[in-house]
């Protein structure tokens, strides 16, 4: 979705390099949004740790106690198997009129092997049927790092399936937490996408100015004597609107945006390959599903360091994705205007920040 920002046609905010100077209030607001997201995520980690951590400890103790208790049914089954094995050994001894060590040992070993197999299968079935003991235990353990990652993936709608609350209070808290947290993340993406895209346009303009070797300006409609508003050399005058005498920022080519995304994914793949020792394909798969908010839970970081690293990677990466989408949108709008599709487009005086959900 796109959020149009208010119109700002003031020429005083244009710097010498042709870049739009960000007012201090905008920088402060962007910093405030970052602090708000971090504080809200930290609050969520404390909340879910207090709700889920204590319950997890209680369930671990209950499971250990239940597993240590004797199970009468399993004792009866084992006794029956043992008695039948002894009867068969006695039958073997009776059938052999003359006892030879080799023959008796071979037949007895076969019966003992059958006894072991039946005993093992009986123990497995008794554990599955035993009341209060689960055949499989959830490998996930709640820590502050995992709670922080869960809180972040909850409000960013990534939602790894391997981390989830198991108590009723934890699930209710997750609903309320996501209800207020998702709008905060949308605000974060809007602010960071707009700020980073403006900075990226400024960097591209400086690079183009250095490559041109000059900083030429062209006059505006105020006259040809150069006394009017100065615009950098290379400004596309055919996109000018005669009714709007403002400065249009330089657009960043789409291949550069794609390269930024690929580079950031490769950087994340190297980090998780070093921390988690995953193979290259698994690392790329994890980075893509995280930045794309797909969030398949079959591959998730386990240690505290890797979980904090994943949280930072997701938080920064979604801002990078919002920046690239905003730049790509600006480039597409420029192409559509170039080929005459203007009626259905937004006004050029509106800076659009693309928000990825």
Indicate the domain borders of the chain. 72-129, 144-203+250-354
State mean pLDDT over 107-119: 80
At 252-298, the pLDDT tens digits run 899 999 999 999 999 999 999 999 999 999 999 999 999 999 887 77
Lowest mean pLDDT among 53-62, 93-102, 169-178, 213-222: 213-222
Amino acid 189: pLDDT: 95
Integer CA distances (angstroms), 39 to 308, 319, 356, in order: 15, 17, 21
Nearest Cα to Cα of residue 355 among 190, 180, 181, 178: 190
* Predicted TM-score (pTM) above 0.75: no
Predicted local confidence at residue 124, as pLDDT? 74
Helix axis angle, 24-48 to 168-212, nearest 10°: 150
CATH 1.10.287.70 fits 144-203+250-354, yes or no: yes
Nearest to 46 by CA among 197, 210, 195, 173: 173
Helices 304-338 and 144-155: angle between axes, nearest 10 degrees: 20
> Can you read off the two tokens belonging to residue 127?
């554990």
CA-closest candidate to residue 318, choices 264, 239, 270, 258: 264
Q: What is the pLDDT confidence band of residue 352, given thresholds at 50, 70 and 90?
A: very low
In what helix (H) or strand (E) does residue 217 lie, and over which residues does it extend? strand 217-218
pLDDT grade for 240, boundaries at 50, 70 and 90: very low
- What the block records as the tokens of 196 is 């980073």
Residues contacting residue 30 through CB under 8 Å, at least 6 positions apart: 191, 192, 195
> pLDDT tier at 131 (50, 70, 90 boundaries)?
very low
Span of 55-64, 161-170, 192-201 with lowest mean pLDDT: 55-64
- How far from 309 is each of 54, 265, 298, 313, CA to CA, in Å? 25, 14, 18, 6
């Amino acid at each position: 979705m796109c959020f149009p920002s208010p119109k700002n046609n003031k020429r005083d905010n244009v710097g010498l390099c042709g870049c739009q100077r960000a007012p201090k209030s905008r920088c402060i607001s962007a910093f405030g949004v970052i602090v708000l997201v971090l504080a809200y995520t930290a609050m969520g980690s404390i909340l879910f740790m207090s709700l889920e951590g204590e319950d997890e400890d209680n369930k671990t103790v209950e499971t250990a106690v239940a597993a240590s208790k004797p199970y009468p049914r399993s004792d009866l089954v084992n006794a029956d198997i043992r008695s039948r094995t002894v009867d068969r050994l006695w039958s073997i001894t009776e059938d052999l009129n003359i006892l030879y060590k080799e023959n008796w040992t071979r037949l007895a070993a076969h019966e003992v092997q059958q006894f072991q197999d039946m005993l093992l299968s009986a123990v497995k079935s008794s554990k599955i049927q035993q009341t209060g003991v689960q055949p499989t235990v959830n490998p996930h353990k709640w820590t502050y790092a995992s709670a922080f990652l869960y809180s972040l993936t909850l409000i960013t709608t990534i939602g790894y399936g391997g981390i989830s609350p198991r108590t009723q209070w934890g699930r209710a808290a997750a609903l309320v937490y996501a209800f207020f947290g998702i709008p905060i993340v949308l605000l974060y993406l809007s602010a960071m996408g707009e700020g980073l895209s403006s900075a990226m346009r400024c960097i591209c303009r400086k690079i183009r100015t250095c490559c041109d070797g000059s900083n030429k300006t062209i006059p505006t409609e105020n006259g040809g004597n150069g006394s009017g508003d100065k615009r950098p050399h290379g400004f596309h005058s055919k996109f000018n609107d005669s009714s709007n005498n403002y400065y249009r920022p330089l657009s960043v080519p789409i291949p550069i945006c794609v390269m930024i995304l690929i580079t950031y994914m490769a950087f994340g793949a190297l980090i998780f390959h070093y921390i988690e020792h995953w193979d290259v394909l698994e690392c790329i798969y994890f980075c893509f599903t995280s930045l794309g908010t797909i969030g398949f839970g079959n591959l998730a970081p386990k240690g505290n360091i890797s979980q904090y690293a994943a949280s930072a990677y997701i938080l920064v990466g979604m801002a990078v994705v919002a920046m690239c989408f905003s730049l790509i949108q600006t480039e597409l709008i420029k192409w559509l205007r170039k080929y005459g599709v203007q009626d259905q487009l937004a006004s050029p005086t509106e800076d659009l920040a693309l928000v990825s959900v």
